[in-house]
Amino acid sequence: MLASNHKRILRNTAMLYMRMLLAMAVGLYTSRVVLEVLGIEDFGTYHVVAGFVALLGFMQGAMTTATQRYFAFDLGQNEGSNLRSLFNTSLQIHALMAMCIALLAETAGYWFVSTQLTIPPDRLDAALTAYHLSIAAFAVSVMTVPLTAMLMANERMGLFALMSMTDVLLKLVAVLLLSYLASDKLSTYAALLLGVALISFSGYLLINHTLFPAVRLQWGWDGERFRSMLGFTAWSTWGNLAAAMSGHGNNVLLNIFFGPAVNAGRSIASQANGALNQFVSNVQAAINPQIIKQYAAGQHQQMHELVQKASKYNFFLLLTLAMPVLLYTEQLLGIWLAAPPEYAAVFLRLTIIASLIESLSRPMMTLAQATGKIRLYQTVVGGLLLCNVPLSFLALTIWQKPTLVLWTSIIFEATALFARLIILRRLTGMAVVRYLKLTISRVIMVSSTAGTINYLMVFESASGLTLFLGLLINVTSTIITIYLLGLDNLEKKYLSKITTKSCRKFFNFSTN
């Protein structure tokens, strides 16, 4: 990450962090308010219903990947000369996709939700209303994808962060309004989120239309581009279906075996873990365009180095934030929520472990997408992840323990990581041994050392000032361990240079 273009990555990451901090703070607060207003049963019901809509929309993730890849690749290879055609083709595919998802959700999906999910009979009508509204909101979000992809490919992270923060604030307003509305809270909450989705789409459309000449509706049909993007999407769909089944499919299994109360615990764990992962997602979002553009320009050595270092930095960043949560889970959940749902603590710990493993894979996912040759990658990796649900079903049938779905996720995430390495060696010539030596070995050394040290320094029954001190010690010791064991000499020098420069700027600003 020491090349000249990494200043842009750092600047874009800083923009995304501003957005993330607001999103995390508002998201944690709104989760608490929604849990209090809806109650545990309605809260769990909404998330399993909305999660099922997201499961049906696995194709959106595939098209998002394809859109961002094609936009960034064209900017890296052709300086954006084909962006208008690519944008219009993408818009046509997304419109078709939104209609297909809505049709599938309102037929087969409606039958499954109304007959197979465990929903209290007196709440079924409200749950189905929320389901219809969630489908509409999801269709709007599908149409927003080409607009967000255009901002990301052009590395306009400041505007993306601004729009994201606006979306977060609108959702906060929706939650605050929910407390004062006398109608059914569950269906009203879904209606308010649909309104937020429509406003966000309008804002993205206005910004893109103003900034980029490529964002212009153009009648016509580019069959070759359509087939190319659709072919890429077809194989990406397999991987995204596997990821969706791995997450939302297991949520459906928990609902069938244990009911919505356990879904509430899983939802809380997912939201807390999602807040932690926003830090990693912001770094990865800033790096993704560079990986694709370097591949398009044939700069493979720099690209492999960027992927290797990004994997390591993703893990270290998430570890720094996750370590105190892993060791003080109950105390932190108690501060966040007045009465955390059952299994929330153990679900959160296991979800974080799976996310730590997955954080290593994120740059490799982008590299595989950059090549455009994803048939083998998606077949193998998608097949591995898709095995998660049937094996979770078998484990639940035998042992009846909710945590088993998380343990299977951890196993398959680790297996998929090494499968990605082997496939990328074939696709791009990536050196597996070098990756294991410079990334995996340092990750294992840092996590085992920091975990042992922090476990020995945990304050039992910590609260108030004691808890704050424990968290501070935990984060500090993890950062020191990363610096001493996780970074090479060149990285240490670069970090010292950046830190010294930042401190000087801050000191000069304070004295003026």
Give the global pTM: 0.72
Residue 356: which pLDDT band, with cuts at 50, 70 and 90?
Answer: very high
Burial class (CB in 10 A: 0-12, 13-18, 19+), 452: exposed
50-69 average pLDDT score: 67
Half-sphere exposure of 301 (CA within 13 A, CB side): 1
Report the first-to-last Cα separation within the chain, whole angstroms. Answer: 33
Output the CA torsion sign for 109, 115, 118, 124. positive
Gap between the Cα atoms of 483 and 491, Å rounded: 9
pLDDT classification of 13: cutoffs 50, 70, 90: low
Please give the Cα distance from 318 to 307 (Å, whole number).
Answer: 17
- Helical H segments across 400-463, by residue range: 404-428, 432-435, 441-456
Mean predicted confidence (pLDDT) in 441-458:
92
Structural contact between residues 28 and 113, judged by C-beta atoms closer than 8 angstroms: no
120-155: per-residue pLDDT in tens?
788 788 888 888 888 898 889 888 888 888 887 777
Q: 472 pLDDT exceeds 80?
A: yes
Q: How confident is the model at residue 60, as a pLDDT? A: 63
Q: Chain centroid to CA 442: how far? A: 24
pLDDT of residue 1 exceeding 50:
no
pLDDT at 165: 80
- Angle, vertex CA 369, rays to CA 363 and CA 372, nearest 5: 150
In what helix (H) or strand (E) does residue 186 lie, and over which residues does it extend?
helix 185-211
Q: How confident is the model at residue 417 (pLDDT cuts 50, 70, 90)?
A: very high
Instruction: Judge whether residue 429 has pLDDT over 80.
Output: yes
- The encoded tokens of residue 61 equal 């993730």
In the chain, count H helices and then E strands.
20, 0
Question: pLDDT tens digits for 208-263?
Answer: 888 887 777 766 666 777 777 777 777 777 777 777 667 777 888 888 888 777 88
Largest separation between any pair of C-alpha atoms in the chain: 68
Q: Is the pLDDT of residue 188 over 60?
A: yes
pLDDT tens per residue across span 72-119: 777 776 666 677 778 888 888 888 888 888 888 888 888 887 887 777
Residue 281 binned pLDDT confidence (cut-offs 50, 70, 90): confident
Contact at 8 Å (CB) between 390 and 331?
A: no
Confidence of residue 3 (pLDDT cuts 50, 70, 90): very low
- Residue 242's region, left for phi above 0, alpha for psi from -120 to 50, else beta, is alpha
Q: Residue holding tokens 């890849």?
A: 69
| Token reading at 488 | 């090479």
Q: Are 133 and 197 in contact (CB under 8 A)?
A: no
Q: How many whole angstroms separate alpha carbon 79 and alpha carbon 225?
A: 17
For the record, the structure tokens of 400 come out as: 């009846």
Q: Strand ranges (DSSP E) for 127-189?
A: none
At 198 the pLDDT is 93
Question: Residue 438 has what DSSP assignment?
Answer: I
Q: Is 509 exposed, middle or buried (0-12, 13-18, 19+ CB in 10 A)?
A: exposed
CA distance 373 to 376: 8
In angstroms, the CA 419 to CA 384 distance is: 9
CA proximity to 99, closest of 139, 40, 55, 59: 139
Judged on CB neighbours under 10 Å (0-12, 13-18, 19+), 71 is buried
Cβ-based neighbours of 322, under 8 Å, separated by 6 or more: 276, 352, 355, 356
- What's the chain's average pLDDT? 81
Contact 28, 302 (CB under 8 A): no
